[in-house]
Amino acid sequence: MKTMLTIMPIRLGLAALSAMASLPAGAFCSIGATQRIHQIQGRAAASPLQGQMVAAQGVVSSLLYGKDGPVGFFMQEPPETQDADPATSEGIYVYTGKLALPALKSGDLVSVRGKVLEFSRKGDAYSETQLQPTSAADVQSCGAQGELRLAALSMPLSGDPAQLEALAGMAVAFEQPLYVADSYHYGRYGELALSSQPRQWTATQLYRPGSAEAKALQAANRRDRLILDDGQTQQNMDAWLPGPGGLSASRTLRAGDKLRGLRAVVSFGNGSYRLQPLGAPQVEGPIHGRRRRRARPASCGWPASTCSTSSTATAWAAVFPPSAERRPAPISCGRRPRSSAPSASWTPMRWD
């Protein structure tokens, strides 16, 4: 027992000295790394060091913001100290909550001491491995910049959760264009569902419900969908990603819009893997161009009062003219009354 007590401080001291030796010239952190990030993450979904106090050094890739400022950040092992095991992630999320952090930005070299925890909601199939420091002194900026190497990722995914788990907390790059498949949660949560296809077909639009073809398409759609988040933990923020040509009432981000040059960090939250952006990707219109209404026909063949708003007297005068000879002239309106049959010259509006 006495031998163990004398050996352990020596081992930690050697680890700290090794970590300090790997720092670039001019950098200094008094917190020496006791483990590499890939050792904390491990090969399984949960960390083998869960519940233990560790110290690690890494390069900041992205910050996560709450109502009053940063609530945490992602950091990644520098390239020179990464392992060659594709099953172990080289990135991790550091949850700081309301701790007073030093001013951090992407590329900063930091040293962190904290407890290894697995964070998830009740009922989640997976969790996110996190480092949680207990005080502001447990997060130190080393005063230098480190290299942030992005891993390649493409869609569709393999369908194996281990693919994204091996990239959890890491910065990734998509070289392919991606398309907005769903923007339902964009206004409230800043989330977009992305796909490698301009349009994902509902399986039962093409195949009989319950058929093998329908089930196969449903599975393929799930593999080809990933959430792009906004790097915020609060709701109802301003739109962070404008539509093609800038954000306005007539130019909003819509399903089918194309994104290029996406760079993001893989994270897990709210029950699913997601992407936290490193910056705004380039936004383009749909692959076939922005949808437009066709020009209205020259005449729809119906009285003006049936296609436009007017006073009650004018409307009744048009429907019940004082004489048969005084019929209202047809006008251009593009629609017809519900209760009447269409005229020969009426043309329905269509989408390109």
DSSP string, 195-223: ESSS-PPPHHHHS-TTSHHHHHHHHHHHH
- Please count the residues of the chain: 352
pLDDT of residue 4: 36
DSSP string, 119-178: E--TT-S--EEEEE-SSGGGEEEEEEE---PPEE--SS--S-HHHHHTTTT-EEE--S-E
Please tell me the pTM assigned to this model.
0.73
Going residue by residue through the chain (352 aa), what tens digit of pLDDT does each one get? Answer: 433 333 333 333 444 444 444 566 557 888 989 999 999 999 999 999 999 999 999 999 999 999 889 999 999 999 999 999 999 999 999 999 999 989 999 999 999 999 999 998 888 888 999 999 999 999 999 989 999 999 999 999 999 999 999 999 999 999 999 999 999 998 889 899 999 999 999 999 999 999 999 999 999 999 999 999 999 998 888 777 776 666 666 667 888 999 999 999 999 998 899 999 999 898 887 654 445 555 555 554 545 444 444 455 555 555 555 554 444 444 444 444 444 454 455 455 555 4
Residue the block writes with tokens 């950091």: 75
pLDDT of residue 8: 33
Three-class secondary structure of residue 307 per DSSP: helix
The residues, any chain, with a CB within 8 Å of residue 74's CB and separated by 6 or more, are 60, 61, 62, 63, 64, 91, 92, 93, 94, 169, 171, 265, 267, 276
Give the whole-angstrom CA distance, residue 309 versus residue 144: 68
Name residue 193's beta-bridge partners. Answer: 182, 227
